Amino acid sequence: MRKNLNVIAAYSIMMGLIILVGIFQSWNIALSIFNLCLISAVMTMGANIQWGYAGLINFGIMGFTALGGLAAVLISVNPVQEAWSAGGTNILLSLFLIIGIILAVRFVLKKYQKSKIRNYIIAAIIISGIIIIRLVSEPGIEAIEEVNPARTGFLGGLGLPIIFSWIVGAFFAGGLAFVIGKVALGLRADYLAIATLLISEIVIAIIKHEDWLTRGVKNVIGLKRPAPYEVNLQETEWFINLVEKFNSGKLALISDLSERQAALNQFVIEGSSVFVKLCYSGLFLVVVIILLILTQKALYSPWGRMMRAIRDNEEAANAMGKNVVKQHLLIFVLGSAIVGIAGAMLVTQDGLFTPGSYRPLRYTFLIWVMVIVGGSGNNFGAILGGFVVWFLWIEAAPIGLYLVNLTTAGLEDTHFLKVHLIESVPYFRFLMMGIGLLLIMRYRPKGILPEKIEIK
Amino acid sequence: MDFLNALVLLLNYIFVPALAYGSQLAIGAIFVTLIYGILRFANFATGDMMSFGTMVAILFTWYFQSMGLTLGFLPTALLAIPFAILFMGLYMLIIDKFVFKYYRLNKSPPVQLAMVSIGVMFVTQAVVRIIIGPSDRRFFDGEKFLIKANEFKEMTGLNEGLAIKSTQVITIVVTIILVSTLFWFLNKTKTGKSMRAYSDNEDLALLSGIDPKKIVMITWMIAAILATIGGVLYGLDKSFKPFTYFNNMLPIFAAAIVGGIGNPFGAFLGGYVIAFSEILLTYAYKKFFMYVLPESMEPDGLIQLLSTDYKFAVSFSILVIVLLYRPSGIFKGKIL
């Protein structure tokens, strides 16, 4: 108990802050911050597995998040029958062609000795394959995108409950991570960082511009929800009764019957959105807790000890007979899969998929700030980092506004400096993140909750 | 005649724009490579440092314009560059003193320095946005075209026009002057040679009496010059928007690595490799083939290898391929 005191203290302060937001701003804001904190926590856990356990730099978090989001679309949206009949066969044929190319390349790689001729053959297979695929897929893609472009214009998904996408998102992200890992994990640390950053940009470019699959920048809106809709809740008997019970004290103060009804309606509307957010919080909390238990177990298992050994001294671990390359690949896939889950969760909560909103600053670098600030190598630290940094990211603008008002209190309201500063309040969050990261890196390089390994 | 038309077409839509864009990338790539070679970390604040320098240059441009000071047919921003470089150098030295120095003296691993540079990236981004705002700004003034498409058509009697923007010429001329001066400095002067020695082997350089403080300071000053000029040239040619500058960091990194990180000449060429491949692969060749091929063989489609949406993706794919087959870059890197 005693040695965990700082963990408990840090988490209580964090929850206290969120509750304060609930009291002073509104419970709606507090809960939406809390939900995104949970999602950020899942992302940081993924990044932390890679960086904290194994020392791998993955600056491609944005790409894996987006793939998770794509999974949510592909699982939950109803299939567009017309589009499938218009161009489905071409797309399926292209898919088989891609598999064929991969098999052919593998065959050549296995069958022939390493030589220049082999390289030429592989290049020829890939180039001719790409040309054939383009010829096959182009009419299909055009036909699909012409099917009711204002509303669909894409193939749609499977029409399953969106919760399944959390698992599928993990598989998508893990699959991409496997490919990237095979290719890039041999690189030096900073090269790996740059390579993953650029690969994630390629992923985003594909998601943005392959309209037949993702609807691209036209966005997919109105995804199914795992939680009830506010509108339905507001008409449900038991919910109204519940709200009435909760607010009976306040309602009793109002004597006029019609006014009381109006007040109740107001409470029901507010309550419904809070209730929906609570449903999400519950779902997300389950994911976070399951992942936390798994990652903690892994950290203290022989496997976790091996990972730390590899991280701290790769050559020694190699000499002890550990397969460093294989373990790196495994951990890269696992961490990215967790990020994929977070990506699917994010789209589930928003109910919409907007490929244009995936930007490296928000989805890669901010997550890294969370990991570093929270404490790399420590799961509790990583989760705390997700909470603290997201909280500050959201609350930076109000805090900035307060500070601006405080420092420019002597100036008139129309003074150009004051007006300019108040206009630029949203950018204080960048300043806060940057200074926070620099201070933590300098004075507490292991994060708020540093890694500590106890032998159990 | 048709052949000439086709040639002018390619010049107008591929060669000239790619040369200008490549020069802008090349300056940025040399900046990245210099920091990597001497200070030994991947600087993720590259794009934002460039946008900071450009911002200062824009502020000076506005100041000069308000005083009625212009350069005639040349953009006023050229006059602002030296002042902007001074501010940029000051900013970089301040950052180095308060941020990077500590890690350098502690001999921290490069990864940690890269993380720190992310912190600097956030701060610089905030400073730029707070001072000048996130919106798109054009600060070009003076004569816009050196040769207009119509004039060219009249002059030569060809169907295809060749338009050369003055910013493109300025970019190329400034790049040639800047880069040749830099290479002269690195290869011929004593300070330049000591910088290369420091980059090659730090301990040996220290043994032979090279002052690391001086090397670091000069590196930051050169970096300031490169960042400001590169940023201003890009801003003059296109426009200034902090977010675009941040994104430009990616092709710049690609150029630096393709050329072999740590090798300025490689970075210089890498810029052009990236720019030309981006434009060559995403250009629609339909019109070109219409001129070259006989009428019966005219193509139906656009003859575009990749849609322009994938412009960035092209350079990143090149980078990935280079990393796989020649991790040290096309021109062996790691020695300045």
Which ipTM was obtained for this model?
0.89
Euclidean distance between the first and final Cα of chain A, in Å? 15
Unique residue bearing structure tokens 């322009």: B308
- C-alpha–C-alpha distance, residues A386 and A402, integer Å: 24
Q: Which CATH number belongs to the domain containing residue B165 in this structure?
A: 1.10.3470
- C-alpha–C-alpha distance, residues B29 and B160, integer Å: 34
- Residue B317's domain comprises 2-325
Unique residue bearing structure tokens 């849609």: B307
DSSP structure string for A400-456: HHHHHHHHTTTS-TT-HHHHHHHHTGGGHHHHHHHHHHHHHHHH-TT-SS-------
Within a domain: B335: no
> Which value, in Å, is the radius of gyration of the alpha carbons in chain A?
26
- C-alpha–C-alpha distance, residues A91 and A138, integer Å: 9
SS3 B71: strand
Identify from B59, B113, B316 which residue to disrupt to test chain A contact, counting A C-beta atoms within 10 A and taking the largest count. B316
- C-alpha–C-alpha distance, residues B52 and B36, integer Å: 20
Q: What is the pLDDT of residue B335?
A: 47
Identify from B98, B130, B248, B249 which residue to disrupt to test chain A contact, counting A C-beta atoms within 10 A and taking the largest count. B130
Higher local confidence (pLDDT), A334 or B305: A334
Identity at A442, one-letter amino acid code: R
Rounded to 10°, the helix A237-246/A257-299 angle is 90
Cβ–Cβ pairs < 8 A, chains A and B? 119
On chain B, the residues whose CB falls within 8 A of the CB of A208 are 309
Unique residue bearing structure tokens 């920048």: A217
Within a domain: B269: yes
On chain B, the residues whose CB falls within 8 A of the CB of A437 are 115-116, 118-119, 122
Q: What is the pLDDT of residue B99?
A: 93
Q: What is the pLDDT of residue A215?
A: 84
Within a domain: B87: yes
Note the pTM of the prediction, 2 decimals. 0.90
Q: How far is A44 from chain B (nearest CA, A)?
A: 16
Identify from A214, A408, A427, A443 which residue to disrupt to test chain B contact, counting B C-beta atoms within 10 A and taking the largest count. A427
How do beta strands B145-147 and B164-165 pair?
antiparallel
- DSSP state for residue A227 in the 8-state scheme: S
Average pLDDT on B124-134 reads 92
SS3 B46: helix
On chain B, the residues whose CB falls within 8 A of the CB of A201 are 250, 312-313, 316
B42 close to A (CB below 8 A):
yes
B210 Cβ contact partners less than 8 Å away, ≥ 6 residues apart = B194, B197, B198
Contact at CB, A198 and B41, closer than 8 angstroms: no
Q: How far is B32 from chain A (nearest CA, A)?
A: 12
Q: How far is B117 from chain A (nearest CA, A)?
A: 9
Of B114-123, B234-243, B312-321, the poorest mean pLDDT is in B312-321
Cβ atoms of B87 and B123 closer than 8 Å: no
On chain B, the residues whose CB falls within 8 A of the CB of A444 are none
Within a domain: B331: no
Within a domain: B164: yes
Q: How far is A247 from chain B (nearest CA, A)?
A: 44
Contact at CB, A209 and B310, closer than 8 angstroms: yes
Higher local confidence (pLDDT), A405 or B234: B234
Of the partner residues B119, B121, B319, the one whose CB lies closest to the CB of residue A198 = B319
Angle subtended at Cα A214 by Cα A83 and Cα A352, rounded to the nearest 5 degrees: 115
Q: What is the pLDDT of residue B24?
A: 94
B203 close to A (CB below 8 A):
no
* CB count in 10 Å sphere of residue A93: 15
Q: What is the pLDDT along chain A (456 residues), one digit of tens a residue?
A: 566 788 889 899 999 999 999 888 888 889 999 999 999 999 999 999 999 888 889 999 999 999 999 999 999 888 888 888 888 888 888 889 999 998 998 888 888 887 888 888 888 888 898 888 888 888 888 888 888 777 777 888 888 898 999 999 999 999 999 999 988 887 778 888 888 998 899 999 999 888 888 888 888 888 888 888 888 888 888 888 888 888 787 777 877 888 888 888 888 888 888 899 999 999 999 999 999 999 999 988 999 889 988 888 888 998 988 899 999 999 999 999 999 999 999 999 998 899 989 999 999 999 999 999 988 888 899 999 999 999 999 888 888 888 888 888 877 777 888 888 888 888 889 999 999 999 999 998 888 888 876 554
B178 close to A (CB below 8 A):
no
Within a domain: B88: yes
- C-alpha–C-alpha distance, residues A144 and A26, integer Å: 45
Within a domain: B336: no
Within a domain: B330: no
- C-alpha–C-alpha distance, residues B169 and A151, integer Å: 46
Q: What's the number of domains chain B is made of?
A: 1
Residues 247-306 of B with CB under 8 A from A: 250, 253-254, 257
Cβ atoms of B204 and B100 closer than 8 Å: no
Average pLDDT on B33-59 reads 93
